[in-house]
Chain A
Amino acid sequence: MFVGESLERVDALEKVIGKGIFAGDLRMEGMAFGVIVRAERFHARIASIDASEAIATEGVVRVLTHKDIPGANGYGVLKKDQPYLAAGYIRFFGEPVAMVIAQNERIAREAALRMRVDYEDMEPLNDPFLAAASTVNIHKGGNLLCRKTVIKGDTKRAEGQSHVVIERTYSTRRVDHVFLECEAGLAFPDQSGRITVISSTQNIHYKQKEVSRLLSLPEERIRIIQAPTGGGFGGKLDVTVEGYAALAAYLTGRPVMVRYTREESMLSNTKRHPLYMNYRTGAAKDGRLTFLEAKITGDTGAYASYGEVVALRAAVHATGPYQVPNVHVESSMYFTNNPVCGAMRGFGIPQTAFAHESQMDLLAEALCIDPLEIRKINALRKGSETATGQVLNHSVGFYDALKCIEPAWKERKKTGNSGFGLGCMFYGIGNTGVPNPSACHLTLMPEGKIGFHLGACDIGQGSDTVLTQILLETLGLEKNCVLLVKGDSDTTRDAGSSSASRQTYITGKAVFEAGRKLRSYLEEKGIDKGRSLKDICSEASGEGGPIFDGFFDPPTTSLDPVTGQGIPYATYAFAAHMTEVEVDPATCVCRVKKVHAAHDVGRAINPDAVRGQIFGGVAMGIGFALMEEFIPSRSKSLYSYYIPTSMDMPAVETYLVEDQEPTGPYGAKGVGEPALIPQGASIMNAIRDATGIRGFELPCNFERLCLLAEKV
C-alpha cells in the first residue's frame, strides 16, 4: 500500500546530502554570465542607451537591447504584452532595458553599472482608481485589462427581504513570493544550434513555447529542463531568466548563465495583486445569507501576466464556501505603473477570503449568532449550488471540516490579550473554465525498470513523491522498480503548470490512467504468475518498447461571459482554520499562538506532505495578514521586506477530512493553495476578538493597528 502512507520524499536524499544541483550552481566550459540592466523609472520614454563604456570593459562579450531579439519581443500567459527588453518605453520600476554578457559574473555586474540610459520621465499612474479615470493609457487598448462578472438571482429584491445588510470595503497590498531560491537558469546551444535551457521553473512546456517565439525557432529546436527548484508559489510561472539566457546563448553561441540576486528577484518578479473589495452581504434573521454584492478592483501593474485569471478567480470565489442564492460580483483589473502582478498561491482568493470571512463575523455579530454556527448554517454541502450555478454532487467536505474544529472552538478560553478567529475557504482545483489537461507516459526499460516520464514540475511541494505513490499503488509493485524521468521537454509530455493546486488531482489522474494500462499489460505478460519484471522488460525492448500513456482533463465548462454561470472546476477543496492570537496592548504587536486547520483534500495521498503544505500555508498567511507589503522602489531586499521567521510560527493542529473526489486519483483533490487561503482571514477575526478592533486593510501591522486603536 502506498496511498495514504507518509512515504519519504523521493528527492529527500539528494537534497539532504547536497547532491541536487540547483540551476544557479551549474557550470559549463566557456560559460558566460548575463546581467539585466533595469530602469529605475516608473513611467518613461527611453531617450538613449549608451553602451560604449560597458562594451569597452575588458571581459564583456556583448550588450543586447530589444533590437537584437530575433523573434517576438513579448511574453505572457494570456496576452503577450510584456517585452523581454524595453522597446523605447518604460512601464514599471525595474523594467529590463538591456542585457550585459561577460566572461564572469563580476565583470558583467560591474559593466552593467556602466550602462548609461537617458529617460524622458512621464507621470506615473500608480493607483488602479487613477488608472480607471485617467485619459493617459499605459497600453494602447486602455488601462482596463478585464472585467469579470458573476450574476445570479436578484440581489436588489433579496436586499429588501434581508434582516441585516453589512457593507464594508477591504483592501490588501502587494506581496512578494520570496521563494527560497532566486531565479536562475543556464542556456547553451548544441552543435546543431538547438538551444537547451536548464532553469528553476514551474512549467517546462509553456516555457518551451515562449522561448521558441522569442528566438523564432520551431519548438523542437528548444529544450527546457527543470533544475531542482527551491519554491515557486506562482512566481516561476511567467518567463523569468529563461528568455534572457536563451537569447544570449543563441546570439553568442556559448553557454550563458543568468541568475538573480534577491534584490533583482524582488525588483523584477511578479507580485500578489492588491485588491480593493467592496462587499455588501445580507442575511435573514436565522443567519441564512440572502445576497452578496461585491465590487472588486485590482491593480495588475504594468503587464497582464495572470491578472485576468486572478480577476476571474476572485469573482467566482467571492462568496466563500457558502450558499448564496443571489449574487452580483464585478471584478476589474487595471494596468498601472506598478510592479507586474501575477500568479501567487491562491490567485486572488486569500484576498477575497479576508473580505467574506470578515463579513461572516460581522453578520454573526449583528444577528447575535456564534461565528461557527453562522458558517455551519450557510456551508456549501452536497446538493448545494455555487454562485456560478454549479451543483456540488460529491466531495463537499466543508461541513465536516467545520465539525473538526468545533471542539476546539467550543473549548476556547479567552485570557488577557488573546483572541480567537475563524477563517474558511473553498478553492476550485485546476484552471478556471478552460481545458487544462495533463499527460504522462510510462516505458519499460531494458534494465528491468519502469520509466516514469513526468513533465510535472516538483517545486518543493512534493509532487514527484505523491505522483510516484499513485503510480506504485496502481501497479502494485515495489518502490524501487520505478525510475523517475522528469522535468525535461524532450522526454516528458506536457503536464501543465504546477499551479492552481492541480498536479495531484489532474496529473495524478493521468498517472493513474497510464498505470492501469501498464498494469493490465504486465498481467497479460504474467507478472502475477511468477514472471519477473526484468524478464517482461527485456522482452518488451525486443518488441520496440511499448509506451503506456495517461491523460486527464477535468470536466469543466466555459463560463457565460456576462453572468459567469457554468462549471469552472470539476472539484473544490474546502478548509476551515481557527487561529488564536495574542495582541500586546502596549505595542499593538500581534503574535499568532495556535492554529487549528481542517482541510478536505479528498484523499491524503501522503498525509505528511499535506501537513507540510498546511504548515507552509499558515506561515505565508501570517506574513500576508501581519507583515508583508511590497512598496515599489522602497522594498528592495529582505532587509526592508519582512516575511515571518520560524520564531513567528505558531503550533499547528491539522485535521484531514477525506471526502473522496470520484474523478480524482484514489479520491484526491489538492491542498497547495487552500493551505494558505483562510489563514489571513482567521487572524483578522482573531484580532477583532482580542482587541475589539476590526482591521479592513492588510497587512494589519502594529502601525495600522495602533492607528485604529487611537481612533477608538
Chain B
Amino acid sequence: MLPRFRCLVPKNKKEALDMLKDEGNTRVLAGGTDLLVDIRKYTCCPETLIDITRIREFKRPFDRVSGILSPAATHAFASGSGEIKQDFPALALGCAQVGSPQIRNMATIGGNIANACPAADSVPPLLIYDTRLTIESQGEEREEALEGFLLSPYRSSLKRDELITAIKLKKLKGYRFGFKRLSIRAALSIGRLSVAWAVKERSGAYEDVKIAVGSCTPVAFRAREAEMFLKEKPVCGGAVKEAEEMITAGIREKTGERPTHAFKLPILRNILTEAL
C-alpha cells in the first residue's frame, strides 16, 4: 500500500525553490514513474512531494532556437514531437522505447536525469548531444554537463534544495544518428544495454563519432577514447573493431569482471559494428 504523504504543487519556479529550501523531508515529483514505485516499496519515505510539472516556466516543453528542453517535458513529447525528431532524432528514438504509452505520458526527462538510474533511456542520447543542465536553488544558479552530473547509480551532483531548471542540447549537423536498446520484451521493460550514436563521415573516413553507452556501467558514459581514436580513420578497415575493443576494455576496467559481460559485451560489439 502507498504510505501517506503530502503533495505540494508550486505554480512557479520561485515557489518551488522556496519549498525545496523550507520543507524538510521532501522529494521532487517529476512524473513519479520511478518515485512512486520506491515509495510503495518503502525504499524511500518522503513526508512531502513537490510536484514540478505545473510550474509556469516549465510549461513550454521545448525551445527550438536555444535547444532547451523543459525538465517537465515528458517522454511522450520527446518521442512524438516533430521538432525533436528533426533536431535530436536519437533522443526521440530513446524516449520512444521507455515503458508504455501511460508511462511515457507521465515520465519526464528531468526526472529521468535526476533519478540517475544506470538504465535511464534518455541519458545516452542526451550524452551524445553534449547536454548541459541548468541547476537552481534559492538565489543560486549553476550549469553542469550531464556527463559529470551523474556520479553513481541513483546519485548525482544535485543537492537536496536544487532543481534542474533547463536541459540544453547541442545540435549536430551532418551526422547520422541511432539508438538501440536491448530488452527482453517489446515494451515495459528495463533496458539491459542501450547505445546512442552520432556518426559523421567524409570521403570514406570518420570525421566525428559520438557514442554513449547505458545500462552497462554504474553511470552511462561517452566513449571518449574510442571517439578520438576513430577520428579520420577509414570507415572500412579494422578501426571499428579496435574501437569496440577499447570500449569493452573500458567497461571491464570500470566495473571489474562481471558474469553478465559474457553476453553483454558481445552484444554491445555487434550493436557498435551495426552502428558504425
A residues within 8 Å of B by Cβ?
105-106, 109, 585-589, 591, 626-627, 639, 642, 644-648, 701-703, 706-707, 709-710
Jot down 10 A-B pairs with beta carbons below 8 A, ordered by A: A586-B270, A586-B271, A589-B184, A627-B185, A642-B184, A645-B100, A647-B186, A647-B188, A703-B263, A710-B263
Min distance, Cβ B4 to any Cβ of chain A, angstroms = 9
- Interface pair B182/A645, CB less than 8 Å apart: no
A586-B270, A588-B267, A645-B188 are known contacts; what are 6 more A-B pairs with Cβ within 8 Å?
Answer: A586-B271, A586-B273, A588-B263, A591-B186, A709-B266, A710-B266
Q: Which residue of A lies closest to B269 (CB)?
A: A586
Q: State in angstroms the CA–CA spacing of A706 and B263 once bound together.
A: 6
Residues of B within 8 A of A589 (CB): 182-184
Known contacts A109-B1, A587-B180; is A706 also within 8 Å of B185 by CB? no
- Interface pair B184/A706, CB less than 8 Å apart: no
Residues of A within 8 A of B186 (CB): 591, 645, 647-648
Min distance, Cβ B24 to any Cβ of chain A, angstroms = 22
Residues of B within 8 A of A644 (CB): 185
Known contacts A105-B1, A106-B1, A627-B184; is A706 also within 8 Å of B267 by CB? yes
- Interface pair B184/A639, CB less than 8 Å apart: no
- Interface pair A701/B184, CB less than 8 Å apart: yes
Residues of B within 8 A of A109 (CB): 1
Tell yes or no: B65 within 8 A of A by CB. Answer: no
- Interface pair B267/A648, CB less than 8 Å apart: no
Q: State in angstroms the CA–CA spacing of A706 and B261 once bound together.
A: 11
Q: State in angstroms the CA–CA spacing of A546 and B241 once bound together.
A: 84
Q: State in angstroms the CA–CA spacing of A157 and B100 once bound together.
A: 58
Tell yes or no: B236 within 8 A of A by CB. Answer: no
Residues of A within 8 A of B192 (CB): 702
Residues of B within 8 A of A702 (CB): 182, 184, 192, 263, 267
- Interface pair B185/A710, CB less than 8 Å apart: no
Of B184, B266, B273, chain A has the most CB atoms within 10 Å of the CB of B184
Of B183, B186, B273, chain A has the most CB atoms within 10 Å of the CB of B186
Residues of B within 8 A of A585 (CB): 270
Q: Which residue of B lies closest to A703 (CB)?
A: B263
- Interface pair A642/B37, CB less than 8 Å apart: no
Q: Which residue of B lies closest to A108 (CB)?
A: B1
Tell yes or no: B274 within 8 A of A by CB. Answer: yes
Min distance, Cβ B124 to any Cβ of chain A, angstroms = 15
Tell yes or no: B189 within 8 A of A by CB. Answer: yes
Query: Closest 4 interchain pairs by CB?
Result: A647-B186, A586-B270, A706-B263, A647-B187
Known contacts A109-B1, A639-B37, A710-B262; is A587 also within 8 Å of B184 by CB? no
Q: Which of B242-276 contact A (CB under 8 A)?
A: 260, 262-263, 266-267, 270-271, 273-274
- Interface pair B185/A645, CB less than 8 Å apart: yes
Min distance, Cβ A493 to any Cβ of chain B, angstroms = 40
Q: Which residue of A lies closest to B273 (CB)?
A: A586
**Contact pick for A587, options B260, B262, B271, CB 8 Å:** B271
Residues of B within 8 A of A586 (CB): 180, 267, 270-271, 273-274
- Interface pair B185/A648, CB less than 8 Å apart: yes
Q: State in angstroms the CA–CA spacing of A151 and B263 once bound together.
A: 42
Q: Which residue of B lies closest to A701 (CB)?
A: B184
Min distance, Cβ B152 to any Cβ of chain A, angstroms = 21
Residues of A within 8 A of B188 (CB): 645, 647
Known contacts A586-B271, A589-B182, A639-B37; is A706 also within 8 Å of B187 by CB? no
Q: Which residue of B lies closest to A106 (CB)?
A: B1
